[in-house]
Amino acid sequence: MTKLSVNINKIATLRNARGGNTPNVLTAAINCQLFGADGITVHPRPDERHVRYRDVLDIRPVITTEFNIEGYPSDEFISLVISVKPHQVTLVPDAHDAITSDAGWDTLRNRAFLTDIVAAFRKKGIRTSLFVDTNPVNIENAALTGTDRIELYTEPYAASFSGNAVKAIEPFIKAAELARELGLGINAGHDLSLENLHYFSECIPFIDEVSIGHALISDALYLGLENTIQMYKRQLV
Active-site residue flag, 43: yes
Residue 96 burial (10 A CB sphere; 0-12, 13-18, 19+): exposed
What lies within 8 Å, CB to CB, of 111 at 6+ separation is 141, 144, 145
Return d(Cα 186, Cα 148) in angstroms, integer. Answer: 9
Residue of 43, 50, 66, 151 with catalytic role: 43
Question: Cα–Cα distances in Å, from 211 out to 52, 131, 140, 145?
Answer: 19, 12, 22, 22
How many CB atoms neighbour CB 14 within 10 A?
Answer: 16
Residue of 50, 66, 151, 190 with catalytic role: 190
Return d(Cα 113, Cα 111) in angstroms, integer. Answer: 5
Active-site residue flag, 96: no
Return d(Cα 116, Cα 199) in angstroms, integer. Answer: 36
Question: Cα–Cα distances in Å, from 60 out to 25, 80, 84, 163?
Answer: 12, 11, 7, 41
Active-site residue flag, 50: no
Helix ranges, 19-135 (H): 25-34, 53-59, 75-84, 111-123
What lies within 8 Å, CB to CB, of 234 at 6+ separation is none
Return d(Cα 86, Cα 84) in angstroms, integer. Answer: 6
Residue of 66, 70, 151, 209 with catalytic role: 70
So which residues are the catalytic ones?
A: 43, 70, 190
